[in-house]
Amino acid sequence: MNRSRLLLIGFVALALGAFVSLNVYRTLKANTASANVPGMDVVVAAADLPIGKKIEDKDVKIVRYASGEYPANSFHSKSAVVNHGVLQPIMAGEFVLPNKVAGQNDYGMPSLIPPGMRAVSVRVNEVVAVAGFVQPGSRVDVLLTGALGGGEQQTTTVLENVEVIASGTRLERNAHGEASSAPVITLLVTPENAQKLTLASNQGRIQLALRNPSDVSQGQLTSMKSGVLYRNGVPIAPGLAAKKQAAPAPAPEPPPAAYSIEVLHGDRREVAKFDNDHQ
């Protein structure tokens, strides 16, 4: 091996050694500088986390924030949130906070139910499912339509301003054994209203009325019967009867026209007049 080749190999080895040393130096310097930056490691979501999801290690990440740039109740290690359930939707990059996660190994539907409340699932009609407007977090009124004691159909409001915590479908089999999907909505209610809702779902057809989340008013509604939908037999609403004007009296008939008869007495002629009602 000649001298020039040995010099070339030595030069390449020195260059590679210098390159590796420089990269190691830069890495160590960056880590040291990062450690010296004032602030705190904070747990944020690495992806969108839906309600009820069990948080895994890959779902969160650690980001260092300067003092005052993160909430005071933030988590500072992944282990503090891994295997916990999500109570409220968390967007990617959002801080993971205590009010949005459940206890350890507490995830899925049970983690969404506050103490003292109950989750009741009811089957609704296909219109609600197809429209897709009723989603977790929506507020609804529960309406029941049925015939009490075999009488006429009527609709009554069973519950008002109820929170939806889940929506989906379940498989059911018809009389022929064929499987079909049925839309199901899960509502968050008190134990007393859970009884009322269960009873209502077995008395007739359940319909949900979507309401504005900011509207918390509750009206004094009475049941409405099917008779009010038809013109015949519709009761006049209060106030309308007073506005209804009486029909004008018919105009009197004109008096009957008179008629005349010419009577001849020889060469004398007389004209006699008679009324129409004269016999």
Q: Do residues 153 and 143 make contact, with C-beta atoms less than 8 angstroms apart?
A: no
What pTM did the predictor assign? 0.50
The domain segmentation of the chain, as residue ranges, is 40-111, 118-229
Averages of pLDDT over each 10 residues, the chain, 279 residues: 69 76 73 62 93 89 90 92 87 92 73 85 68 78 83 86 80 54 82 92 86 78 68 51 56 65 66 59
Instruction: Give the tens place of pLDDT for each residue, 173-213.
Output: 555 655 555 678 889 999 999 999 999 888 888 888 888 88
Q: Do residues 81 and 43 make contact, with C-beta atoms less than 8 angstroms apart?
A: yes
From CA 187, how far away is CA 204, in angstroms rounded?
18
Q: State whether CATH 3.90.1210.10 applies to domain 40-111.
A: yes
